Amino acid sequence: MPLDQLPRPQWLTFDCYGTLIQWDEGLQAAVAQILDTKPSTVPAPTPAQFLHVYDEHEHRLEHTPPYRRFADVTRESLRLAMEAFQLPYRPEDADLLTGSISRMPPFAEVVATLGLLKQAGFRLCIISNTDDDIIAGNVAQLGGHIDRVITAEQAGAYKPSRAIFAHAYRSLGVTADEVVHICASPHLDLAAARDIGFRCIWIDRGTGRKPLPDYRPDATVPTLDRVPDLFRQAGWL
């Protein structure tokens, strides 16, 4: 449904990595650094090839009971991907990867846009598939504009599970109808929007990821700084 036919939300919730924070760029750089430490006698995959295998393990482990912290998922996914490419794994590799996540910077337009939305009276919350200590370094780079951070660690569940969003709404004291979620992730956040029914704006940053064939976001923009324009058209600003 067009945004101008919907009530103004109290809260804006955001996916973090890939939406606010430069996830793909940072992950590629971290994996390239890890691969550079491996013996040259073993044919090394490209970072993109390695991440394809790593992502498969990460997504499987996140949705295999019992719940485990993201740092543990990262460690095991990295070990399994190394094993698949016959590369030696060291615990320091996982430390490098999780440490690099905390240092990943925001996209250029993000901090100013969050400030504009905060000044307009919206309250801002991140809902992210990570641990509290990992995301703290990223949130510290967002200009002090974020009011709440909800993590998989707090909820004991990963997106697209209903559990993490239910935990977020309980924590914020709102219903799904009082929120607009802003995200760049089709296979996690848009899947949750389809299944739960909350309003959702997709940030299509040109990564090649596509929405699910049976779901259409309420709006699509290429970057976060286009969101205020949508809100002006809806009469929310």
Indicate if 129 and 16 belong to the same structural domain.
Answer: yes
End position of a domain, from candidates 54, 88, 103: 103
Indicate if 94 and 114 belong to the same structural domain.
Answer: no
pLDDT of 211 reads: 81
Task: Give the range of the structural domain holding residue 70, as residue numbers without chain letter.
Answer: 23-103
Indicate if 97 and 130 belong to the same structural domain.
Answer: no
6, pLDDT greater than 70: yes
Residues 52 and 221 sit within 8 Å (Cβ to Cβ): no
Name the residue with tokens 């660690």. Answer: 153
Indicate if 214 and 125 belong to the same structural domain.
Answer: yes
Beta-carbon contacts of residue 167 (< 8 Å; ≥ 6 apart): 150, 154, 155, 157
Indicate if 87 and 166 belong to the same structural domain.
Answer: no
Indicate if 68 and 11 belong to the same structural domain.
Answer: no
Closest CA to 21 of 116, 180, 134, 121: 134
End position of a domain, from candidates 85, 103, 121: 103
Indicate if 62 and 112 belong to the same structural domain.
Answer: no
Indicate if 183 and 75 belong to the same structural domain.
Answer: no
- The per-residue pLDDT for range 197-236, each reduced to its tens digit, is 999 999 999 888 888 889 999 999 999 999 999 999 999 9
pLDDT of 1 reads: 59
Structure-block tokens of residue 160 = 């697209």
End position of a domain, from candidates 103, 134, 168: 103
- The per-residue pLDDT for range 171-186, each reduced to its tens digit, is 999 999 899 999 999 9
> If you average pLDDT over every residue of the chain, what do you get?
94
Q: Which of 2-6, 107-111, 146-150 has the lowest mean pLDDT?
A: 2-6
3, pLDDT greater than 90: no
Indicate if 96 and 177 belong to the same structural domain.
Answer: no
Q: How many domains, the chain?
A: 2
How many Å apart are CA 15 and CA 188, to the nearest integer? 10
Q: What is the dihedral of CA 191, 222, 70, 64, to 10 degrees?
A: 20
Mean pLDDT of 81-89: 93
- The per-residue pLDDT for range 19-30, each reduced to its tens digit, is 999 999 999 999
CATH code: domain of residue 49: 1.10.150.240
pLDDT of 195 reads: 92
Other Cβ atoms within 10 Å of 182 Cβ, number:
25
Cis peptide before 66 (omega within 30 of 0): yes
Burial zone of 144 (CB within 10 Å; 0-12 exposed, 13-18 middle, 19+ buried): exposed
- φ/ψ bin of 126: left (φ > 0), alpha (ψ from -120 to 50), beta (otherwise): beta
Indicate if 37 and 143 belong to the same structural domain.
Answer: no
CATH code: domain of residue 114: 3.40.50.1000
Indicate if 12 and 122 belong to the same structural domain.
Answer: yes
Structure-block tokens of residue 9 = 């939300």
Q: Which helix (H) or strand (E) holds 47?
A: helix 47-62
Indicate if 171 and 215 belong to the same structural domain.
Answer: yes
